[in-house]
Amino acid sequence: MSDINDGSTVNDEDIYWGQVEAFISKANDACDAADPGIVAAALLNAAARFNAFVVAHSSLDKSEFAEDVEGTTNYLTGRFRDHLKEHMDDYRENYTALIGHRDVAE
């Protein structure tokens, strides 16, 4: 938890969700100029690249980093799968509210 200049505190979960919303907002804005599929692919690549940096940066040395690659890759891909499944379930259950009704041409 950290103090803010006005005396209030912000915990890690608040920071986490603020970052999630900021990244989604940036991606939504990017969709004004690019296909959403391209934006999604770029965001996925950026997340992978940044996570590789975080693991390398937190390693004591190259050897420790090399030892962490397999386990960290498994952990991160598992977390991605969990998050994706959760959000896909949400969209399936709330499709009309989130996307709207779409008429399918016959």
Taking only the tens of pLDDT, the chain with its 106 residues reads: 555 566 667 899 999 999 999 999 999 999 999 999 999 999 999 999 999 999 999 999 999 999 999 999 999 999 999 999 999 999 999 999 999 988 887 7
> Which domain, by its residues, includes 44?
2-77
Residue at 94 is within a domain: no
| pTM for this prediction | 0.80
- Count of the separate structural domains present in the chain: 1
Whether 73 maps to a domain, the answer reads: yes
In a domain, 89, yes or no: no
Task: Give the integer Cα–Cα distance in Å for 20 and 83.
Answer: 12
State the pLDDT at residue 103: 80
Residue 96 lies inside a defined structural domain of this protein: no
Tokens of 7: 């005396």
In a domain, residue 18? The reply is: yes
Q: Does the residue 56 lie in any domain? A: yes
- Please report whether residue 24 resides in a domain: yes
47 Ramachandran zone, left/alpha/beta (phi>0; psi -120 to 50): alpha
Q: Tokens 């390693």 label which residue?
A: 59
Give 83: exposed, middle or buried? Use CB within 10 Å, 0-12, 13-18, 19+.
exposed
Question: Would you say 23 and 16 are in contact if contact means Cβ atoms under 8 Å apart?
Answer: no
